Chain A
């Protein structure tokens, strides 16, 4: 199993550009989530999904969209990138709501 994969590993965007961060898992996990990690802030939840077709907002959802058309994939879309979205983004999945979350390797995004 590849586990949770994220692409790209690094990305530089200009302010106003849009892009999609990809996340996929091959463990047939129902639950998936996106976090951002900023220095001194820990990880903060952006969006999460409890199954295909079901998504909900986390703590910091503004400026991001998600969809979950399949169990495997959970892409995160930045609609119009802003410097405040410079961060490291982690995708995670788990088989139930109460299990530990398995994290992807992260995407380091810089918005100039």
Chain B
């Protein structure tokens, strides 16, 4: 079974609208972390937001927020007020367990977001 599932290969959104990118995960660990990265067409990987499994509040970073539903094992990324520069591939990733030996990220296959003017 896939540990990280991103069911939307591609998404379109109008400029200035909000968009939600889906991510579900599979783990039996109680301690884990969830990350979202952005990869523009230039290829670099840009960290956006992090949510720890014990964090009680949803993470927010500027226009990015993470809709964390632990019981449903989902960690959706919400981008508010989309901009043309948000057009990129978005990856959800998970770190399972705690401690240095668990320094491993598992990535989903990504969602390609296109923002239309």
Contact = CB atoms under 8 A, between A and B. Distances in A.
Interface in A51-93: 51, 56, 58-59, 88, 90, 92
Interface in A7-57: 30-31, 33, 35, 40-45, 48, 50-51, 56
Interface residues of A, number: 28
Contact of B103 (A31, A59, A105): A31
A97 B100 contact: yes
Given A98-B33, A100-B35, A43 B91 contact: yes
B105 A101 contact: yes
Nearest to A100: B47
Contacts of B93: 43
Interface string B92-105: 01010011111111
B105 A42 contact: no
A44 B33 CA distance: 17
A101 B105 CA distance: 9
Contacts of A42: 4, 91, 107-110
Contacts, number: 61
A100 B103 contact: no
Size band of the interface chain B makes with A = 20 to 34
Interface string B60-99: 0000000000000000000000000000000101010011
A97 B110 contact: no
A97 B45 contact: no
Nearest to A99: B50
B43 interface: yes
Contacts of B109: 40-42
Interface of A: 30-31, 33, 35, 40-45, 48, 50-51, 56, 58-59, 88, 90, 92, 94, 97-98, 100-103, 105-106
Given A33-B105, A50-B101, A56-B101, 17 more contacts: A30-B100, A31-B103, A33-B103, A33-B104, A40-B109, A41-B109, A42-B4, A43-B91, A43-B93, A48-B103, A50-B100, A88-B43, A98-B33, A98-B95, A100-B47, A101-B47, A103-B37
5 shortest A-B CB distances, which residue pairs?
A103-B45, A42-B107, A97-B103, A100-B47, A50-B100
